[in-house]
Chain A
Amino acid sequence: QVQLVESGGGLVKPGGSLRLSCAASGFTFSDYYMSWIRQAPGKGLEWVSYISSSSSYTNYADSVKGRFTISRDNAKNSLYLQMNSLRAEDTAVYYCARERGGMTTSAFDIWGQGTMVTVSS
């Protein structure tokens, strides 16, 4: 079945780095734009970054621009998020999500279960 499974979360000190992965299955991964979305404990959803199907286009929320890098490997059906210079306010559950529709009209129709990132000393 169509599935996204995140991994790579954990506890990291402020200023540290972490790389999240998202394994896709059950659909043609290379056909879809993908995004990372996060949710701080007890808070709402915040879009973090998207990447186009062929990696030609990426974009980031201002809150992570210059610190996070999104990438994908279509041969491995995998999405990644490299997170550097982590701050306490980056503490959240990170979800990968598949986009349906065009770039500016996209809805997120498939979500992973999420992976928790905690930034604390």
Chain B
Amino acid sequence: QSVLTQPPSVSGAPGQRVTISCTGSSSNIGAGYDVHWYQQLPGTAPKLLIYGNSNRPSGVPDRFSGSKSGTSASLAISGLQAEDEADYYCQSYDSSLSGYVFGTGTKVTVL
């Protein structure tokens, strides 16, 4: 059972901006642990998209941005493109579980 909650799906037209929320609790995001985001294209392994709440690894377009506040975090995709259709997961650490936790996952559809 995931302890980080994400909307099951979001959609947008090409060029639009979409956001994905990731809601946690006082034992994970609210405790100050970093949030990271992954993109999983169909049939492939996840890829790190955002680390340390808002940092992009080399090669990730600046259309992707992350933020964190309180017990939640968000991933924004601006200038939505067809190749952004994928599943997106947030991830953090949970002190009560003493382990890493993932979000429930969000499917992004480009209309």
Cα of A78 to Cα of B102 in the assembled complex, Å? 25
Complex interface bits, B22-33 against A, C-beta within 8 A gives 1, otherwise 0: 000000000001
**By CB atoms of chain B within 10 A, which of A44, A62, A107, A111 has the most?**
A107
Q: Are B101 and A47 in contact (CB under 8 A)?
A: yes
20 sampled A-B residue pairs with Cβ under 8 A? A35-B100, A37-B102, A44-B2, A45-B105, A47-B99, A47-B102, A50-B100, A61-B97, A62-B97, A95-B45, A101-B51, A104-B93, A104-B95, A105-B52, A106-B93, A107-B52, A109-B48, A111-B46, A112-B45, A114-B45
Residues of B within 8 A of A50 (CB): 99-100
Q: A82 an interface residue at 8 Å Cβ cutoff?
A: no
Q: A73 an interface residue at 8 Å Cβ cutoff?
A: no
Residues of A within 8 A of B102 (CB): 37, 44-47
Please judge, given known A-B contacts A45-B89, A108-B91, A114-B45, whether A100 and B100 are in contact too, CB under 8 Å. Answer: no
| Interface residue ranges of B54-111 to A (CB < 8 Å) | 57, 89, 91, 93, 95, 97-105
Residues of A within 8 A of B34 (CB): 101, 105, 107
Q: Is the interface of A mostly helix, strand, loop or mixed?
A: strand
Q: Are B46 and A104 in contact (CB under 8 A)?
A: no
Q: Which residue of A lies closest to B103 (CB)?
A: A44
Residues of A within 8 A of B46 (CB): 45, 95, 108, 111
5 interchain residue pairs of minimum CB distance: A107-B36, A107-B51, A47-B100, A111-B45, A44-B105
From A37, A46, A62, A109, contact of B51 by CB (8 A): A109
From B36, B98, B105, contact of A59 by CB (8 A): B98
